[in-house]
Amino acid sequence: MTEEINQQRRRFISAAAMTIAAARLGVVGSEQVQAEETSPQALPAIRPETNTSFGALKQIDAGVLNVGYAEAGSASGTPVVLLHGWPYSIHSFVDVAPLLTAKGYRVIVPFLRGYGATRFLSSETFRNGQPASLASDIVALMDGLKIEKAVLAGFDWGARTANIVAALWPERCKAMVSVSGYLIGSQAAGRVPLPPQAELQWWYQFYFATDRGRAGYEKYRRDFAKLIWQLASPKWNFDTATFDRSADSFENPDHVQIVIHNYRWRLGLADGEPQYDGLERKLAAGPVITVPTITLEGDANGAPHSEPSAYAKKFSGKYSHRTLKGGIGHNLPQEAPKAFADAIVEVDGY
């Protein structure tokens, strides 16, 4: 890793900036929580990147999408839906899934809109990346698969999506595992200026707000994603093959448009769709999540995130938090798959 990247990483993990960044996420409150620190090395561990493939993927029409997804385990098992983030893919869970199927779970791992094998059913549909649309996709997918209720677990965009489903449709969410805690935000929160050091963490958001940024991401999306991986997980020594398996999913024809719209929407620079206005009003109020939840954090997460104490009171059901030691970064399920799977099994028993 270059000295330039190391310098950027040091800025990214500034404790002050992480605390301030909570405002961008729409998080309020300062309730203290005793964070349980767990070392992945102390657990019966699977070596990350033991698995490289889910095998043949499935496709299903759900809502406005034809969703590409991996499925494993018994059809009669408790459903678990695993949700990836940006710029990642379903391969973040390639080692998590077999651990869960060994426990009897039915595991569903969908590509979000704009990734991998997921496609819009109509060329006329607006390529919307606002968070409420992604959450609605997951509800539609569960409907299509005839899943009434599932355990939801994710990180980055996936954690935000799981949070929204749990907040707006708690009857569909049996329990939740959320990396980096409570991620529900709003356009109003996104418009609030932050001190410069906190804004630095969101540099790509401002880059994407420009035509140059859109063109740059279109042209250099793989290089861009690799840089984000390095900054967000500075101690994760992923190899080229591991990166390429996820980066292939960015060749989706809608990927750039979905990513750019997502970040521009957050800043209030792009409109969403009217059918989500009611949902967004509910989300802007910062709803408390009532379903049983475990939040996770890596001790080397270089991406913007809040301290656990900032979001603890946003969970009113049975709740616990743990911070994973050992240099675990932002892509927590791929870097510490056993700890992630264990959290799912535990929260399912709450």
Task: Enumerate residues 6+ apart whose C-beta is below 8 A from 71.
Answer: 58, 106, 107, 108, 109
- Whether pTM exceeds 0.85: yes
Q: What is the pLDDT of residues 229-248, one digit of tens each?
A: 999 999 999 999 999 999 99
Under the phi-then-psi rule, with left for phi > 0, alpha for psi from -120 to 50, and beta for the rest, what region is 104?
A: left
Is the pLDDT confidence value at 167 over 90? yes
Cα dihedral 240/303/327/320 (nearest 10): -130
What pLDDT is recorded for position 12? 41
Our CA angle for 185, 304, 325, nearest 5°, is 120
Instruction: Classify 194 as helix, strand or coil.
Output: coil
Mean pLDDT of 166-193: 97
Q: Alpha helices, DSSP H only, in 156-210?
A: 157-168, 187-190, 196-200, 203-208
Q: Which two tokens stand for residue 340?
A: 């992630």
pLDDT by residue (tens digit) across 268-314? Answer: 999 999 999 999 999 999 999 999 999 999 999 999 999 999 999 99
Which of 180, 178, 170 lies closest to 150, judged by CA?
170
Helix extents (H) in 123-156: 131-144
| pLDDT range class, residue 208, cuts 50, 70, 90 | very high
Distances (CA, A) of 263 to 145, 191, 204, 269: 30, 12, 9, 9
CA distance 158 to 162: 6
In the chain, what percentage of residues exceed pLDDT 70? 87
Average confidence (pLDDT) over 75-82: 98
Over the stretch 25-70, which tens digit does the pLDDT of each residue have? 444 333 333 345 544 443 345 778 789 889 899 999 999 999 999 9
Q: How far apart are CA 10 and CA 117, in angstroms?
A: 36
300 vs 303: CA distance, rounded Å:
9
**Of 307, 289, 342, 309, which is closest to residue 80 (Cα–Cα)?**
342
pLDDT of residue 45: 59
- pLDDT above 80 (res 138): yes
